[in-house]
Structure 1
Amino acid sequence: MSKADLLVPKVLAFVGLALDRVPELSPDRVKLVINFMLPISEWTEYADLESDLLSCLLGGFGYNGRHIDFAAVDAKGYMEGAGMATIPPPDITAYVGVCGHKDANFIAVEDGRPLAYPKSKTFEGLGMSSIVNSVMHFTDDVQGAKAVFRFLALMDKPNKQDQARKELAALIKPHRLEQKLTQTREGFNKNWGEIKQRIDSDRGIKQAQAFYLVGGNAPIYKSRFKALFGSAFKPLNGAIKQLSDEFEEINTQWAYRAIDVWMLHLHVTGRTWTPKGVKEYVGAK
């Protein structure tokens, strides 16, 4: 199912959980503000989703035997990249690479906002799932994807080879392990080769004045994108560290997944992260 298909039930479940966790919140005495983000390929559905959310949250929905309805709600949809779009100077064209599970998206950013197709691009089928599926069918897709990610993240580090193999070794029969490790490396190299070839043939992305990399799989591609874009590649180490420090349960991989949404949250609440690697909000009161 698409993210758009799952958005409304996920938001309602999250709102219900939040009310359970913070019982002093009363829906009839607070204004609920929901900002959500959609992949560029699903962006055309944002208006319908805004309407559906308002209908459910104002009209009422059921959660764990409880009827919940709010007196006041704002719901606004944003295209992925909207948070990262708040970082580059307004007078340049930047790109945000989003390394997802299914696809790889490259979002053009100008004047503080992400742009739709055709300036932005989707490289369909070049996400992590293409690598995972080239290795084998895992009984647990999530566990398999995590094991492949861990192997790829550590495979170029000679002193961590045993650690890199550990999770995949637990999922693959011993007599097939070496073959599958080789297939994983080859699958990743093929995936990256196709991404690089398409970037090289796309003048807009290739000539980006600034390039930012986000998404849960960004860590395994980071060094390659940095080599490809040179000085235009803008590392997010400071922001990733700050996000991880602010939310202790978020590791680096999750921080790369959340950073676009986090930047959007800062922006809509009147704060802007400054790319200096320091804990500083511009405009914070």
Structure 2
Amino acid sequence: MNNKPSWGAARRESRGDSYDNIEPLFVELAALAQDDPRREALRTELIDRCLPLAEHIARKFSGRGESFEDLLQIARVGLLAAVDRFDPTRGATFLSFAVPTIMGEVRRHFRDYAWSVRVPRRLKEIQSTIGPAVETLSQRLGRVPRAREVAEELGVDLAEVTQALIARNAYKTSSIDAASDTDEAESGGPSLLDSLGTEDPDFGIVDNYLAVKPLLAALPDREKQVLAMRFFDSMSQEQIARQIGCSQMQVSRILAKTLKSLREQALRD
């Protein structure tokens, strides 16, 4: 007996306020022939459901010298590409594929039309390949990839990928007299100039780093290795335990003891 839900049932189950269960609609879409009259109607339904996602991403990029209306149209183009290119058989969620695809489309617009500060050609070339690489890796991994994974996918140095990502901020300059928040632009909100000279809250992070740096250097090799794997490589305690040949409980004790010692020394100094 075939217990596979019908297309109609899949569509009913996939309706809702989120994108959590939208993949059954893509399975249904892929099963339809190209000339099936139901195909265009289903594609339109998918696009309509995901339009709020394009709007949300467009707002994230507003305030960089481009009008929100233009960004919204570009984000919608990215959404169309995501709907047409998503492969539900790969196991990834649509959201994990659509977000980097749409963001990549918006970033390509800034790359092609809004460079205002001179950026080396090499970084521009790498930056132009990051978007497609992120889309491919997101589909493969089921999540947004890390910079190191993008570098490996492109076959370039991690430092170059990092510099290319930073270079995206050189798309377009903004007046320091303009409102710093686009939502406050019409209401005469504070400008960037108003915030110049104020204390940067990130200075505290720098102070903390300078205080802890010599303490980290003085740690035994094993403690330094465990900290690096946990907080720089984002490894779980189980993964660390397998790597250094001990139990997960021992890793937990090493972390707790080392962090407590660092905290006490930093506060005392």
The TM-score with structure 1 as length reference comes to: 0.23
Q: Whose Rg is larger?
A: 2
Larger relative contact order (CA 8 Å, sep ≥ 6):
1
Higher strand share: 1
The TM-score with structure 2 as length reference comes to: 0.24
